[in-house]
A and B are shown apart, each in its own frame.
Chain A
C-alpha cells in the first residue's frame, strides 16, 4: 500500500515538474507549510496515543472487556475504544483475541467502531481544523452510532453463525 502511495506521488510530482517548475515548487512549499502548521498538534497526539497504548495494552483490554458480557461489557468496550484511535494492525488482532476470550460480537462491534470513529486523543488535531463544536458533535454522534453498529452486528451474526 505504501509502495502504491509513494509511486503515485512520485509520478505526479515528476509530471508536475515537467509541466511547470514554478508551480511544483509552490506545491511543495504549500505541502511543507500545511505540515509545519499542524506538526505541534501531531506531536501531542502521538505522545498521548503512545501513553494510552502503553497503559491499555492488549492484556489490559482483554481483562476489561473480555470476560464481561452484557451491557456493562458493551459500555466499557465503547469507552476503551473511544479514548484512542488504535491503528488497525493492533486493533484487529486484539479484537480477535477478545473473541477467543469469550467476548460477544456486540462488544467487539462497539469496540472496533468507536476505535475507528471516536478519538478523544486525536481531538487536538481535529479541533485545530474543525473547531471545538464540530469536533464535539462529530465524536458524540459517532459514539452513539457505534452502539447501533454493535447492535446490528450482534443480531446479524447471531443469525449467520
Chain B
C-alpha cells in the first residue's frame, strides 16, 4: 500500500496542485478537467493495443531475429526498418518509450532505438497526411526531407555523446523491466 502511494506520489502531488488552482480559477480548472478527460480517452483508445503488441513481440520474436534485422551489423536495413516502424506508429510519443524498452531487450542497436523514437515523434504517417492538408505539400515535404536525415544524424550524435557505460546502463534497466 505504502509502495503504491509512493509510486503515485508525483501524480497525487500534481492532482492536489491542480485542485488548488481550480479553487482560485474555476475556468482554468474546468479547462484542465475537460482536456484531461479527452487525453485519457485518447490513451485508452490507442495505448492498450500498443502494449499488447509489445507483449506479443516480447514473447514471440526471438532475440536473434530482432538482432538480425535491427541489431549490430544490420546497417542500412536496420536504419530503414527503424524509420518505417516508427512512422507507422499511432499515438502520443510517450507510447514510444515502452516499445523502445522491449527493442533494447531484444538487442536493437542504440542508434536504431533513437531513430525509431525520432520517427515516432516526427514522421508518423497519419500525422503527415494531416499536415499535408493543413499546411500544404511544400511545407510538409520540405519538413519530411530534412527531418529524416536529421533524425539519423541526431541518433548517431547522441550515441557519441553518451558513454558506452551509460548506454549499457540504459539497456540494463530495460532488461530488468
Which of the listed residues B35, B47, B127 has the most CB atoms from chain A within 10 Å of its own CB?
A: B35
Q: Which residues of B contact A130 (CB under 8 A)?
A: 97, 170
In the complex, how many angstroms separate the beta carbon of A36 from the nearest chain B beta carbon? 9
Question: Is A64's CB within 8 Å of the partner chain B?
Answer: no
Q: Are B49 and A5 in contact, CB atoms less than 8 angstroms apart?
A: yes
Chain A 21-62 against B: per-residue CB contact (8 Å), 1 yes, 0 no? 001101111111111011011111111111101110100000
In the complex, how many angstroms separate the beta carbon of B1 from the nearest chain A beta carbon? 15
Interface residues of A (CB under 8 A from B): 1-2, 5-6, 8-9, 12-13, 16, 23-24, 26-35, 37-38, 40-51, 53-55, 57, 85, 87-89, 92-93, 95-96, 99, 105, 108-109, 112-113, 116-117, 119, 122, 124-126, 128-131, 133-134, 137-138, 141-142, 145, 148-149, 152-153, 156-157, 160-161
Interface residues of B (CB under 8 A from A): 7-8, 10-11, 14-15, 18, 21, 28, 31-33, 35-36, 39-40, 42-43, 45-56, 58-60, 90, 92-94, 97-98, 100-102, 114, 117-118, 121-122, 124, 126-127, 130-131, 134-135, 138-139, 142-143, 146-147, 150, 154, 157-158, 161-162, 166, 169-170, 173-174, 177
Pairs A-B, 3 closest by C-beta atoms: A31-B55, A54-B31, A92-B134
